[in-house]
Amino acid sequence: MAIGNFGLPFNLHTAQKVDLRAQPSKYALSALRPFDFTQSAGDIPSEYFAPYKYLPVCFMDTNTEDWVVIPKGRIVAGLSAEDSTMGAYIAYPVSSGSIYVAHEATELGGAAISKTIDGSYYGYEDGIVGALALANGGVICTGFYSTDDVTAGTIKAGGAVVASGATAFNMVANAPIGVAFHDWYQDIRGMYLNYKQHPDGGHVLCDWYVQIPYIKVSNTAGYSGINPQYTNNSYSNLTTWRDINKKYTYLTVDKVNSDVFKTGVFVQPDYLGNYKIQGGASSMSQSKNVQTVGRVIAIDARYPKSGLEDVITYPGSGMPGTQTAGIPKYLFDFVYECIKIGFGTAPTVEEVYNAVRSGEFGMVRIQLLIS
């Protein structure tokens, strides 16, 4: 039995011809221009970045056992194809070449394995046009790989695995493009056959109100000698203060160079992407420039607050209370570690309390102005 069209006469359709009327000129508009000008809001630009593959590691994430190369809060720069002196990261497609990603198994000789930079799995997908590194204030910076890089099996730009500490790591002079608002993991794509847990990249923060610890460094104050700020090209300095610089983000106030530490002054990156006062003794007359990352809005050493010193907490709780004299845990730990390294002995809770109450340490709140 044939199945009818159930009232849908597909075979009875006809096409009719009718005239078209031209659009009245008063309603005519210009054609849309094929140009995507607006991209996103400016606080977290939609640009997707990958970390520079050969960065020295900072510390291991105890949960994932992956290595972090850019700690949260650090000021970052973007390496594009124009930074040709760095080589072997992101380049123009006509000459992109290859990138070292891993080494063969030991039984096969352990030779370095390279892959195409433009390959989306081992290299960089075409949506990624910049690799992140720590901002260095526009100064050519020589850092070092550490013994942690030996443990992590970090690969250097030439393809060799870091075999010992004190191995030089060179970074081209750069300018800040944003701030890392989360920890960035080491780029290990291709290093393992069966593992790559974390994302390949992410975004940066350009306009926000943030807070970090500050430290006043001086040769004359009661905390003389406590200066975690990295000195360019100094491996001994990096080694001494590595436990601070590998995990804490902070602002240094250099009293020796007469830094003006007031609300309203600009801040910029130091060699390791941490923060320092822009302009030193001339801070109050400084203008915003390519290295400016923000402006000091508030300087806070008024701790403890709201009676938190009387809240009973247990060691390692991560909460302000009796274990931290009511001081926020991040600030307390930063001050504790600085004094311990600088003086050689661990301070008491009261000593940390006094260091903050004296104003030598505290929190500084910054309005980011990376635009």
pLDDT at 237: 93
pLDDT at 129: 85
- Which residue ranges in the chain fall short of pLDDT 70? 1-16, 29-34, 84-89, 120, 197
Contacts of 320 (CB under 8 A, 6+ apart): 304, 308, 311, 313, 326, 327, 328, 329, 332
Give the CA radius of gyration of the chain. 27
**Contact (Cβ atoms closer than 8 angstroms) between residue 163 and residue 155:** no
- The pTM assigned to this predicted structure is 0.88
CA nearest neighbour of 103 among 158, 65, 185: 158
Tell me how far the alpha carbon of residue 152 is from its chain's centroid: 19
pLDDT at 5: 54
pLDDT at 86: 54
Domain spans in the chain, listed from the N-terminal domain onward: 50-185, 209-368
Q: Is the dihedral of CA 232, 236, 238, 244 positive or negative?
A: negative
CA distance 325 to 34: 60
pLDDT at 39: 87
